[in-house]
């Protein structure tokens, strides 16, 4: 076929998805689109590509997701690579996390030993601490949004993904709306005031979700579900609001770990912060060297973090180019194309020669 989507000068040929990338396989689909494993034809790099249908579905929320994700650079966060356009979709290109979701890992095993859970939790907390240090709250932390990547030394590394509900306190107002996944939502997010207008602290709410994640890894079920009526959402909400949880008799969890959870599952004004979690004795046990270094670095320099919108991303795109790409995608699909000689020959073979409308 011809040149693909006709684009403005900035959204140039390099951004034409089909020309530059080949699809290897589908990784899965969500509410907003499908994610595929793709290979960059130029350097051979494998990436995850999230396809979002052009048109009305590309709104300011998608733009926010992309612009926030683009500023995140941390070993425990899936790296944003750039954006691209196909005729039908806006494509978000990201680092590929080859080990799948932490959710599947836990689902396979039912639950995992405390040492292993701590190993994942330490990485999760370092990733979240980084987000918070640059003024971003994630608002949808859960096992499904913690991917695993196999490092060269064989150790699995946690990679936080999906910034679809995230907010930056440098770019946006404080969060007010109830977003997230019910089993992981903090009480103050479920009831942000009678008028629904009261703000909550998104970072403190993230801490609650991290606690749920830890509990599920250790116990194999959600902390605020009624054990006798697990599917009853109303009961789960009541239990969340009352911070009511317990440990099933068969689980053996250390007192220090239980202490940490008890500091997380409390109302927001008493809840432990991410920084305090990083000083908690349970958290500090067997802390890998790289995370000790990460803590000393992010404790000083990135805590004054600024959202740097001027940097060029991995695919060499500036913020302006990314924004232009999003704007282009908002305008809908581009099925107009310019025919080249091969296209015309093919149509002649198929339909016989005649006159065709080509391009715009």
Ligand X SMILES: Nc1ncnc2c1ncn2[C@@H]1O[C@H](COP(=O)(O)OP(=O)(O)OP(=O)(O)O)[C@@H](O)[C@H]1O
Structural contact between residues 73 and 79, judged by C-beta atoms closer than 8 angstroms = yes
Q: What is the closest distance, in whole angstroms, from the C-beta atom of residue 95 to ligand X in the complex?
A: 6
Residues interacting with ligand X, by CB under 6 A? 27-33, 35, 48, 50, 78, 94-97, 101, 144, 147, 161-162
Closest to 36 (Cα-Cα) out of 22, 56, 20: 22
CA distance 6 to 12: 9
Q: What is the closest distance, in whole angstroms, from the C-beta atom of residue 99 to ligand X in the complex?
A: 8
Q: What is the closest distance, in whole angstroms, from the C-beta atom of residue 153 to ligand X in the complex?
A: 20
Q: Which is nearer to ligand X, 35 or 84 (CB)?
A: 35
Q: Which is nearer to ligand X, 145 or 298 (CB)?
A: 145
Q: Which is nearer to ligand X, 52 or 126 (CB)?
A: 52
- Name the token pair of 337: 């194309």
Q: Which is nearer to ligand X, 97 or 207 (CB)?
A: 97
Structural contact between residues 69 and 81, judged by C-beta atoms closer than 8 angstroms = no
Q: Which is nearer to ligand X, 85 or 324 (CB)?
A: 85
Helix axes 319-330, 60-70, angle to 10 degrees: 160
Catalytic residue among 89, 140, 162, 201: 140
343 is catalytic: no
Of all residues in the shown chain, the one whose CB is closest to ligand X is: 30
Structural contact between residues 48 and 35, judged by C-beta atoms closer than 8 angstroms = yes
Q: What is the closest distance, in whole angstroms, from the C-beta atom of residue 47 to ligand X in the complex?
A: 8
CA distance 213 to 109: 15
Q: What is the closest distance, in whole angstroms, from the C-beta atom of residue 292 to ligand X in the complex?
A: 26
3-state class of 303 per DSSP? Answer: helix
List Cβ neighbours of 290 (8 Å cut-off, separation of 6 or more). Answer: 75
Structural contact between residues 147 and 97, judged by C-beta atoms closer than 8 angstroms = yes
Q: Up-side HSE of residue 314: CA atoms within 13 Å toward CB?
A: 20
Closest to 178 (Cα-Cα) out of 131, 237, 266: 237
Neighbours of 38 (CB within 10 A): 24
Closest to 206 (Cα-Cα) out of 140, 119, 112, 147: 140
Burial class (CB in 10 A: 0-12, 13-18, 19+), 132: buried
The response to whether 235 counts as a known ligand-binding position is no
Closest to 330 (Cα-Cα) out of 111, 26, 53: 53
CA distance 20 to 38: 10
Q: Which is nearer to ligand X, 48 or 85 (CB)?
A: 48
Q: Residues within the annotated binding site?
A: 50
Q: Residues within the annotated binding site for ATP?
A: 50
Q: Which residues are catalytic?
A: 140
């Amino acid at each position: 076929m011809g040149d693909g989507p006709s684009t403005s000068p900035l959204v140039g040929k390099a951004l034409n998805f089909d020309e530059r990338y080949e699809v290897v396989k589908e990784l899965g689909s969500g509410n907003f689109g499908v994610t595929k494993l793709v290979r960059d034809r130029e350097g051979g790099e494998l990436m995850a590509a999230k396809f979002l249908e052009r048109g009305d579905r590309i709104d300011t929320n998608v733009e926010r997701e992309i612009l926030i994700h683009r500023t995140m650079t941390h070993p425990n966060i899936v790296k944003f690579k750039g954006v691209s356009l196909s005729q039908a979709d806006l494509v978000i290109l990201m680092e590929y996390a080859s080990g799948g979701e932490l959710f599947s890992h836990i689902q396979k095993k039912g639950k995992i030993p405390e040492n292993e859970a701590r190993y994942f939790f330490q990485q999760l907390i370092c990733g979240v601490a980084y987000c918070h240090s640059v003024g971003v709250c994630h608002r949808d932390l859960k096992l499904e949004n913690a991917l695993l990547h196999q490092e060269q030394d064989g150790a699995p590394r946690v990679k936080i993904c999906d910034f679809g509900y995230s907010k930056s306190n440098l770019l946006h107002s404080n969060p007010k709306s109830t977003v997230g996944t019910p089993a992981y939502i903090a009480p103050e997010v479920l009831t942000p005031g009678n008028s629904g207008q009261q703000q909550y602290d998104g970072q403190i709410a993230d801490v609650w979700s991290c606690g749920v994640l830890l509990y599920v890894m250790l116990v194999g079920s959600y902390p605020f579900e009624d054990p006798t009526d697990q599917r009853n959402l109303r009961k789960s909400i009541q239990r969340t609001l009352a911070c009511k949880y317990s440990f099933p008799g068969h689980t053996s969890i250390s007192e220090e770990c239980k202490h940490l959870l008890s500091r997380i599952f409390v109302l927001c004004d008493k809840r432990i912060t991410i920084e305090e979690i990083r000083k908690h004795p349970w958290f500090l046990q067997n802390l890998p060297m790289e995370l000790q270094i990460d803590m000393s670095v992010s404790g000083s320099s990135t805590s004054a973090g600024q959202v740097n919108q001027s940097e060029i991303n991995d695919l060499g795109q500036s913020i302006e180019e990314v924004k232009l790409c999003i704007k282009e995608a908002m305008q809908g699909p581009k099925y107009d194309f310019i025919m080249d000689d091969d296209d015309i020959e093919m149509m002649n073979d198929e339909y016989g020669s005649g006159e065709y409308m080509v391009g715009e």
